[in-house]
Structure 1
Amino acid sequence: MSNSMAPLTIKVHPNDNVAIVANDGGLPAGTTFPDGLVLRERVPQGHKVALLDLAEGAPIIRYDVVIGYATRAISRGSWIEESLVRMPSAPRLDDLPVATRQAPALIPLEGYTFEGYRNPDGSVGTRNILAISTTVQCVTGVVEHALQRIKAELLPRYPNVDDVVAIEHAYGCGVAIDAPDAIVPIRTLRNIALNPNFGGQVLLVSLGCEKLQPERLLPEGTIPVQNAVPAQVCLQDEQHVGFGAMIAAIMAMADERLAELNQRRRETCPASELVVGVQCGGSDAFSGVTANPAVGFAVDLLVRAGATAMFSEVTEVRDGIDQLSARAASPDVAAAMIREMAWYDAYLQHGGADRSANTTPGNKKGGLANIVEKAMGSIVKSGSSPIVGVLSPGEKARQKGLLYAATPASDFICGTLQLASGMNLHVFTTGRGTPYGLAAVPVIKVATRTALAERWHDLMDIDAGRIASGDATIDEVGWELFRFMLDVASGRKKTWAEHWKLHNALVLFNPAPAT
């Protein structure tokens, strides 16, 4: 997409009365299109242009959905910038279509494999990592010091271990630990400790006086019976005389765990053992026409291969709940999805906000007028398969197929919660660009625009902008992504985030009170 190419707009659905400008840098006033459309003013790339004269109050339609209403009369060829779009009310949660969309039978996709690490609990990892879990933020400084020494002094002895990471967080004390919603951060931390990429080797560091005691974080029966008792270091234990003793204890425990992990080897596993989380961040108007549709195609391939795929971000699907409830595999699944939407509506209302708080300045600069338009482009990364299950925040996935994992849309919180749900591979689309990464799982970055993929050539893994320029189809990029996932899962390829060791801090979702 460049200014040298012919003027180009992208119209998603025949019923749309707007289209987005595809050319890099946008197009100037006076630009004439083959159908006779003339731009009345300059329109930035990714922004909407009116294809018809729109009266004040007229619906503005994109994706065959009313994304808003004109705040004044808009002439054909005009730039429809944010202030001209009045956002509609959120869809009601009653009287929704429930399990009404009969998806065509998916043809099984057989014969696709990756080289993974089998775990005692039956899960499969894509990486072989030692994780140091923590019960409370107070121990972070000590754990960080120990982590640096473990990486420098111990990890080189164990060439079959990919990394050592610390599961650090700002939780564990100063909170209402018995409040009903405290289950969210607690099960999040518990399930992250048991992520498939950690091989069942749990190493836990606690302080001693915190509210989140080790037995509450990892109660009896949590650790698979095939594994040893988790290694635990309590910093307040009297045996630790000085800082050096604490570090030595953590390093001794880590040494034992590293030796166990070092014995593991990759083996051929069916693609059905993948658990892939999909997410978008730094979205723009191209997200819904290039990267997210390609991801949706790849998600359908994963489901056909028998794998688990999960999509999330409550506020970014809320305006399409009717589409999702119709795709539910059963009335129970639809009811669970609606329940999660209602819970989050109440959560936002309690905080004096609504779904409109989601959109960022970058989203708007990239052409997204409001959350309705953003949601329509976000949903398509879920593909077209039936939704077979719903996970509450931080809940572990226990079935194959397409799942809706309810999370906030915040990149960091969503990634943390999908990690807790058991993902072993992450796919992240972006239009504005972000160096987002996770230490525990490979993160594949898909750029919505070729200009971004070229400018951030050593940060973006897949260029979906070729779809907008006509150089590739959605299906072709979807297959490319699917094959790339298998290569990354096998360790044959690294993502750019892995190459540079870029990762964001884990951020827990804690809807319970702090004290």
Structure 2
Amino acid sequence: MELIQHQDSPRYIRLNEADNVAVVVNDGGVPIGARFQDGLVTVESVPQSHKVALVDIAVDQPVRRYGQIIGYALEPIARGSWVKETQLRMPSAPPLDSLPMSDAVPARLEPLEGHTFEGYRNADGTVGTRNILGITTTVQCVTGVLDHAVARIRKELLPKYPNVDDVVALTHSYGCGVAINAKDAYIPIRTVRNLARNPNLGGEALVISLGCEKLQAEQVMHEGDASVDLSEPWLYRLQESNTGFGEMIEQIMALAETRLEKLNRRQRETVPASELVLGMQCGGSDAFSGITANPALGYASDLLIRAGATVMFSEVTEVRDAIYMLTSRAETPEVAEALVREMDWYDQYLERGAADRSANTTPGNKKGGLSNIVEKSLGSIVKSGSSAINGVLGPGERFSSKGLIYCATPASDFVCGTLQLAAGMNLHVFTTGRGTPYGLAMAPVVKVSTRTELAERWPDLIDVDAGRIATGRSSIEDLGWELFHYYLDVASGRKKTWAEQHKIHNDITLFNPAPIT
């Protein structure tokens, strides 16, 4: 990474020697006539995080960032000018039938030993970073009743059980009015099932049902599943109430108290860092995402993999244009083929909806300097680090092996977070350049800003400022180590993220590609 870095002069970052554009660093951008250290002079003002042309670029010539083609010039682009999205023709998506497959598998990194955190061991062998009572639902119809019960549980019962962090209602919009036997209905069904098995719920999840819905409780919980304790009453159907609303609330609270008593007996114990299951995501991305925050996450990801942990990265449309860089890193041809399978499934899903991957890039992304989904993808995959990719999960699947895992999800922040929770994530990290108050109720969310300006403007929402990399106050390596230790502190409960402190929680949002009847 080449940084032109005098604090009192125009500055840009060029990521690769093959790049013919660079990203402006200065707060507020640079004006027309600004002269960079290397002699480049702007011929128009260029906003912060947007691209400046380093050379004259002719029509149909490639525009390169990260050493990769992010577009082709639709018109002549002069040296020193602002490179705008309207000037670029987006490249076609890489064809899936001619990708490199496991041809550049990284060597296994040296083990990193001796790192631990304080977690809650579960009967199925997983470890929680929080001790939460989860109450799941089979249908949206019960949400209002359950929300009322949860409010009373928090007020009346939780104070009696100080070792329990919270009670969470796993409410959703699925369950009835759906084609339960449709081809793709398995995705929301297994998501609901696996959310109840999240390690942070300690195997004590309850189910609240209406009774007549298509998604029945037995499809959510199965006898003999070691990840959830079904030896005691675990289900209440509202339609079994004989005296109405009041009885419903009392029954839910009585079930909850039996589980709270068990959860309260749990104690944190020292466990190896290998028990961490980290989910990584980015949202409100900008051109700095692939320069500061995501590379730091990638470095920390490599550290966790060296420590034997599980790290998940996701968002199909945000890796699709860089998939050739991932299939090369797949540990085996089978893993590479699984990556292709998930890309192909999503291509077909978008085609059925008469959409394509270009719809992913938001107005905020573009305002933050990202011209198209190709450029966004190249910055997104950086958070996967440099380790071999060890496995692939379909949407709603639960992890069963350690290492670097691709968890196939839509790019929607809320859907991706939900699916990573279903996959077994016990800690979440979220990078943002534009800013978002995103949070999850079932797992701590570490919020990392791509720019210092955002961290300073939102000091009680951003946990870690990765913008220090762009200004030369930190290196990717140093910030990667800082994140590694921060993860372990948050996992241990020694630190609480801002989202936790403010109790900022987004709704669980299921991915349901099946028809609604």
Summarize the Cα distance change of 1:230–1:430 in structure 2 as closer, same or farther, 3 Å threshold: farther
In structure 2, the residue matched to 1:221 is 224
Query: For 1:300-311, what aligned pairs fall within 5 Å after superposition?
Result: 300-311=302-313
Alpha-carbon separation, structure 2, partners of 1:291 and 1:464 = 5
Amino acid at match of 1:120: A
In structure 2, the residue matched to 1:514 is 516
In structure 2, the residue matched to 1:212 is 215
In structure 1, the residue matched to 2:251 is 249
440, 443, 446: which is aligned to 1:441?
443
In structure 1, the residue matched to 2:197 is 194
Amino acid at match of 2:41: V
In structure 2, the residue matched to 1:179 is 182
43, 58, 66: which is aligned to 2:61?
58
In structure 1, the residue matched to 2:290 is 288
In structure 1, the residue matched to 2:501 is 499
Amino acid at match of 2:78: S
In structure 2, the residue matched to 1:159 is 162
Deviation readout 1:201-231 (Å, 9 max, x if unpaired): 0211000000001011223333548652451
1:359 and 2:361 are equivalent in the alignment: yes
Are the aligned partners of 1:288 and 1:380 in contact in 2 as well (CA < 8 Å)? Answer: yes
Instruction: Report the aligned-residue RMSD.
Output: 1.2
Are the aligned partners of 1:3 and 1:23 in contact in 2 as well (CA < 8 Å)? Answer: no
Query: For 1:247-286, what aligned pairs fall within 5 Å after superposition?
Result: 247-286=249-288
1:399 and 2:404 are equivalent in the alignment: no
Are the aligned partners of 1:205 and 1:235 in contact in 2 as well (CA < 8 Å)? Answer: yes
Are the aligned partners of 1:10 and 1:19 in contact in 2 as well (CA < 8 Å)? Answer: yes
Summarize the Cα distance change of 1:225–1:317 in structure 2 as closer, same or farther, 3 Å threshold: closer
In structure 1, the residue matched to 2:454 is 452
1:128 and 2:134 are equivalent in the alignment: no
1:96 and 2:99 are equivalent in the alignment: yes
Counterpart secondary structure, 1:133: strand
Counterpart secondary structure, 2:154: helix
Are the aligned partners of 2:64 and 2:70 in contact in 1 as well (CA < 8 Å)? Answer: yes
How far did 1:102 drift? Answer: 3.2
Alpha-carbon separation, structure 1, partners of 2:5 and 2:56 = 28
Alpha-carbon separation, structure 1, partners of 2:144 and 2:272 = 40
Alpha-carbon separation, structure 1, partners of 2:470 and 2:206 = 47
The answer for unaligned runs of 5 or more in structure 1 is: none
Alpha-carbon separation, structure 2, partners of 1:226 and 1:510 = 27
Counterpart secondary structure, 2:479: helix
1:33 and 2:36 are equivalent in the alignment: yes
How far did 1:5 drift? Answer: 2.5
1:111 and 2:150 are equivalent in the alignment: no
Are the aligned partners of 2:197 and 2:228 in contact in 1 as well (CA < 8 Å)? Answer: no
Counterpart secondary structure, 2:328: helix
Alpha-carbon separation, structure 1, partners of 2:393 and 2:166 = 29
Are the aligned partners of 1:3 and 1:25 in contact in 2 as well (CA < 8 Å)? Answer: no
TM-score by length of 1: 0.98
Alpha-carbon separation, structure 2, partners of 1:226 and 1:141 = 26
Deviation readout 1:121-171 (Å, 9 max, x if unpaired): 000000000001000000000000000000000000000000000000000
Deviation readout 1:394-430 (Å, 9 max, x if unpaired): 1000001000000000000000000000000000000
The answer for unaligned runs of 5 or more in structure 2 is: none
Percent identity over the alignment is 66
1:23 and 2:26 are equivalent in the alignment: yes
How far did 1:320 drift? Answer: 0.7
TM-score by length of 2: 0.98
Are the aligned partners of 2:277 and 2:309 in contact in 1 as well (CA < 8 Å)? Answer: yes
Are the aligned partners of 2:299 and 2:480 in contact in 1 as well (CA < 8 Å)? Answer: yes
1:313 and 2:315 are equivalent in the alignment: yes
Alpha-carbon separation, structure 1, partners of 2:332 and 2:498 = 39
Alpha-carbon separation, structure 2, partners of 1:46 and 1:321 = 25
Counterpart secondary structure, 1:181: coil
Amino acid at match of 1:146: A
Summarize the Cα distance change of 1:113–1:69 in structure 2 as closer, same or farther, 3 Å threshold: same
